[in-house]
């Protein structure tokens, strides 16, 4: 009996070590709790983030232990990547946003147009009358397709309260500038006191694909008799653009 218990404890410990290794070194699941990345990521989406995409820092590991300084095996992220990072405000909270500016970039909104290094970022309007959520509020928006580094993805701007003009942002060395795809409902690098420029050591990983999605507004995922309403089957195993 004692041998049976000890063998099971060993098996459990090995399983935990393997799970910790996979979560820290390879991939980690994340849950989308807010609407800041609509229309591409919805509240209730669950996705996998690859931890090895940009190398490793202390934030690659649970509880951000001070195992080493800086970043090892570093690989530069690219404009257009969807990235999970620790917010500079507390170095603890996970945010997920789209990388728009790399070190040395100059960014500004002028008359609602995004300008990077004096070049207008190409957008194509897809829907003049669309909607996304901002918390529990429904926003009437225009949906555009934005193109950065030949990466095409959809972004939304509120019809009534669009972010038309901004100060000039100059991205410091070793830092990055992030925006939410739901441009008028996102706390991101435009808000320097809350998020601002994100240091490369704060990068956690690159969002790669969805593996599960449920609409909690329509009910609990445990109510299996309502799965046809609550589960977004069309989003299962969908690559993130």
Report the distance separating Cα 6 and Cα 11, nearest Å.
Answer: 9
Domain residue spans in the chain?
2-235
Using one digit for the tens of pLDDT, what is the confidence trace for 154-179?
A: 999 998 766 678 899 999 999 999 99
Report the distance separating Cα 59 and Cα 63, nearest Å.
Answer: 7
Two tokens, residue 222: 């445990």
CATH code linked to domain 2-235: 2.10.109.10
φ and ψ at 224, to 5 degrees? -65, -25
Active site residue 97: yes
Active site residue 218: no
pLDDT one digit per residue (tens) for the chain, 241 residues: 666 676 667 777 767 767 667 777 789 999 999 999 999 999 999 999 999 999 999 998 888 888 889 999 999 999 999 999 999 999 999 999 999 999 999 999 998 899 999 999 989 999 999 999 998 899 999 999 999 988 999 999 998 766 678 899 999 999 999 999 999 999 999 998 889 999 999 999 999 999 999 998 888 888 888 888 899 999 999 999 8
Starting at the earlier edge strand, list the strands of the sheet with 137-148.
123-134, 137-148, 151-158
Report the distance separating Cα 96 and Cα 184, nearest Å.
Answer: 16
Give the 3-state secondary structure of residue 12: helix
Q: Can you give the pTM of this predicted structure?
A: 0.90
Q: Which residue in 36, 156, 213, 214 is the catalytic one?
A: 36
Q: Which residue in 51, 58, 97, 200 is the catalytic one?
A: 97
């Amino acid at each position: 009996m004692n041998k049976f218990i000890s063998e099971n404890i060993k098996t459990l410990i090995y399983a935990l070590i393997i799970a910790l290794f996979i979560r820290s070194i390879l991939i980690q699941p994340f849950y989308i709790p807010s609407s800041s990345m609509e229309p591409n990521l919805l509240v209730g989406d669950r996705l996998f983030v690859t931890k090895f995409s940009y190398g490793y820092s202390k934030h690659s590991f649970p509880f951000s232990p001070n195992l080493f300084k800086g970043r090892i095996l570093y690989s530069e992220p690219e404009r257009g990547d969807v990235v999970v990072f620790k917010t500079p405000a507390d170095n603890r909270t996970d945010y997920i946003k789209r990388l728009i500016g790399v070190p040395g970039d100059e960014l500004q909104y002028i008359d609602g147009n995004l300008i990077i290094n004096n070049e207008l970022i190409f957008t194509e309007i897809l829907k003049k009358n669309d909607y996304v959520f901002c918390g529990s509020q429904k926003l009437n928006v225009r949906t555009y397709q934005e193109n950065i580094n030949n990466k095409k993805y959809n972004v939304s701007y509120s019809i009534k309260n669009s972010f038309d003009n901004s100060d000039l942002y100059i991205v410091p060395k070793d830092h990055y500038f992030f925006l939410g795809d739901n441009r008028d409902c996102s706390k991101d690098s435009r808000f320097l006191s809350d998020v601002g420029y994100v240091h490369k050591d704060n990068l956690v990983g690159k969002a790669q694909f969805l593996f599960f999605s449920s609409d909690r507004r329509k009910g609990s995922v445990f109510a299996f008799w309502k799965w046809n309403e609550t589960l977004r089957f069309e989003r299962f195993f969908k690559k993130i653009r």
